[in-house]
Amino acid sequence: MNDVLTSINPATGKEIARYKAHTDKQVNAALSKAADTFDEWRRLPFAKRAAVLKNIAKAIRKDMDRLVMLATTEMGKPLAQGYYEVEKCAKTLEFYAREGARFLKDEVIETDARKSYVSYQPLGAVFAIMPWNFPYWQVFRAFAPTVMAGNVMVLKHASNVSGCALAIEEIILKGGAPKGLLQTLLIPASKAESIIDDDRIAAVTLTGSTQAGRKVAAAAGRNLKKAVLELGGSDPYVILADADLNLAVEIAVRGRLVNSGQSCIAAKRFVVHKAVRKAFEKSYTEAMKQATYGDPTDAGSRIGPMARVDLRDELHQQVLKSIEMGAKLLCGGFIPDMPGAYYPPTVLTNVKKGMPAYDEELFGPVAAIIEAKDDEQALKIANDTIYGLGAGILSANRKKAEQIAAMELQAGNCYVNDFVHSDPLLPFGGIKQSGYGRELGSYGIKEFVNIKSVYIK
């Protein structure tokens, strides 16, 4: 009997749909189709690949309402954030359609040869393992550069957003793509490793937890296949004594509550200079109290439910344990008496090393405030984490803040006086246990290519 993947509306707790998992026979057929499609797609000139990406972007915009509502229903994303996410996917497709050929242009190298250059050639079928929190963006930010480079993609999405996963394949076909350019496999996570093992898969990209990253890295390493891993984060935001506190509070609220707090690069730990800690803490707590949560289809709801009840309950336990260990609760910190996976905006202060709020990723609308006696200690606390995805620095002294962002903060994405967010123009990825490799920008399109030296005597 086939596995069944179930989607549950996190706002109501009610079942939306059940999907039969693909059989081994269907998976095998999909991998063969991917190999055949790659052999044709890689030979197309950049202009023809670009035309397909542009048409997919048009198809996305034409079907935007349905796509957004599907994400809201399956994982609780507030509607306004859903529209932003889907539009960002379309813009990223257009970005790589416009810039891909330039990024992958042959690079002439002067040697003793008559002619020598570096050529960027696609690898094959890339296996993408994607999470539920940005059900469209996570896929398309990998898909756009990967296929523009001449590869094809096989997608294993999170089981709770199977409807979104199928919609992605459908919208790509509506854009005029060949049938094997992206294929969605409805399979449980336990079958991912066997796909990585398959010779028809050339590489793998994962966005997910650090635990999942270790498993995928081990399987890819065993097969000597390229992998890009974008994993967890516990992003620190350092607020110096000279920071504009109004701006700091605004950024801290936006950065912590993006996607209802369910983002790898959401602001999570606020390391505040002792000279401004009390003032920041008071204003920030009041702002978090005012952030409304509720029905994600209601325009007045800034925060929707968390994606699953078990994830909400796990977050609540992290909060309770931190309080038991000495953290002080300033707001939130309770499970609402209502259906669904809701959790209120929560602020903890007096957070110390050893507490879950200090050491672990808080994947939901919970903020941890940590006091630092001076700038040196603030940076030490900021870097005192197993993660290294994003980090922020807030200061009126932009030159000093830039030096700290560029040279001192240990993360792949460091922002000054703004919250960390991804941009198609810039490479995105982490260090330490936040993974390796880069997506987006000119660097992302070169992750899944053979950087080939061509030498003519």
pLDDT in tens, 111-153: 999 999 999 999 999 999 999 999 999 999 999 999 999 999 9
Sequence-ordered list of residues with C-beta below 8 angstroms from that of 338, at least 6 positions apart, any chain: none
405 near 393, Cβ under 8 Å? yes
**pLDDT on residue 1:** 47
Is 331 among the catalytic positions? no
CATH 3.30.360.10 is right for the domain spanning 235-416: no
**How far is the C-alpha of 71 from the C-alpha of 73, rounded, in Å?**
5
Q: Which of 345, 335, 338, 138 is nearest to 261 (CA)?
A: 345
The pairing of beta strand 366-372 with beta strand 346-349: parallel
Sequence-ordered list of residues with C-beta below 8 angstroms from that of 170, at least 6 positions apart, any chain: none
- From the CA atom positions of the chain, what is the Rg in Å? 23
What's the pTM? Answer: 0.97
Is 89 among the catalytic positions? no
Q: Where are the domains of the chain?
A: 4-231+432-456, 235-416
What are residue 333's phi and psi, to 5 degrees?
75, 25
Range 64-68 average pLDDT:
98
Establish how many alpha carbons lie within 13 A of residue 41's alpha carbon, considering only the half-sphere containing its beta carbon: 30
For the stretch 234-247, pLDDT in tens is 999 999 999 999 99
Q: What is the CATH class of 4-231+432-456?
A: alpha beta
**How far is the C-alpha of 167 from the C-alpha of 451, rounded, in Å?**
33
Please report which confidence band the pLDDT of residue 191 belongs to, taking 50, 70 and 90 as the band edges: very high
pLDDT at 349 over 80: yes
Please report which confidence band the pLDDT of residue 2 belongs to, taking 50, 70 and 90 as the band edges: low
For the stretch 280-337, pLDDT in tens is 999 999 999 999 999 999 989 999 999 999 999 999 999 999 999 999 999 999 999 9
Active-site hit among 230, 281, 360, 447? 230
Active-site hit among 164, 264, 331, 414? 264
Sequence-ordered list of residues with C-beta below 8 angstroms from that of 335, at least 6 positions apart, any chain: 312, 313, 316, 342, 343
**How far is the C-alpha of 257 from the C-alpha of 270, rounded, in Å?**
13
Alpha carbon distances (Å) from 237 to 10, 153, 273, 413: 30, 35, 11, 12
What are residue 36's phi and psi, to 5 degrees?
-65, -40
